[in-house]
Amino acid sequence: MTPILEARRLHKHFGLTHALRGLDAVIDPGEIVAIMGPSGSGKSTLLHCLAGIIPPDEGEVLLSGEDIGRLSEAERSRLRLTRFGFVFQFGQLLPELTAIDNVSMPLLLAGQSRKHALREAEDWLDRLDIGDKADKRPATLSGGEAQRVAIARAMTIHPEVLFADEPTGSLDSLSAEVTMNLIRNEVKAAGTTLILVTHDPRAAAYADREIIIRDGRASVDSRVAA
């Protein structure tokens, strides 16, 4: 089976900081992988490199065997729009838009009709049990509700890979649990690969396995250990 994502000897510097130091990682299609490690270990840098948001200084990121470093910036941007989904710690919803408009936005950007985009968005909001919040703006939603909208927004394009960077970081324990249950159930149902960066071991426990990063390298990779 060709891995959906593969990092080969990634190096990344930020000024004098050597954030990634020859990191290797392999992620299979449909896996949920938690990337863990202390602050400054390089886990968010790894996520950004895997998602094509920043290029590594050395090494390769392969998406289904294709080196995304060979793509133009426009092609990488298209990749992020059509094949990747993103969920961040604070949802990062557009504050002036309603929940349903936030969720339909990626489909509109991908060229879908407004009618189709709204119908899909409505389905996703219902599916995540926040259909009654469709016309609410983010400021009026609880943290857990806002995160569900963010999940709906990320999943509405049926991404091959969902990248989640500390998705429970701003939530209380119970909301975090509900959120992780939802993410796990939805990505498993859709066959989407999930890359989860988290400090929170209880969130990471929803993953199939973890990669522990230390000093810019994979200190423990349970795929290798297994």
Partner 1 sequence: MNRMDNALTLLGLASVAPSYGYDLKHTYDRYFGINKPLAFGQVYATLGRMIRDGFLVELGTESGGGPDRRRYQTTEAGHARIRDWMMTPDVPSGALQSNLFAKVVVALLTDADAGRLIDLQRARHMQQMRELTKAKQQADLMHVLLYDHALFHIEADLRWMDMTSARLDAMKADLK
Residues 155 and 162 sit within 8 Å (Cβ to Cβ): yes
Report the alpha-carbon distance of residue 197 to residue 76 in Å, rounded: 21
Three-state DSSP at 177 gives helix
Residues 161 and 86 sit within 8 Å (Cβ to Cβ): no
Asked whether position 219 contacts partner 1 by CB under 8 A, the answer is yes
Q: Which is nearer to partner 1, 34 or 62 (CB)?
A: 34
Asked whether position 224 contacts partner 1 by CB under 8 A, the answer is no
Q: Which helix H or strand E contains 204, and what residues bound it?
A: helix 201-204
Q: Which of 22, 90, 222, 223 binds partner 1 (CB under 8 A)?
A: 222
Report the alpha-carbon distance of residue 105 to residue 103 in Å, rounded: 6
Q: Return the structure tokens found at 59.
A: 């090494």
Q: Which of 36, 61, 62, 183 binds partner 1 (CB under 8 A)?
A: 36
Q: Which of 99, 100, 154, 207 binds partner 1 (CB under 8 A)?
A: 207
> Binding segment for partner 1 among 89-97, 134-142, 145-153, 202-210 (CB under 8 A)?
202-210
Binding site for partner 1 (CB under 8 A): 34, 36, 38, 181, 201-202, 204-208, 210, 212, 214-215, 219-220, 222, 225
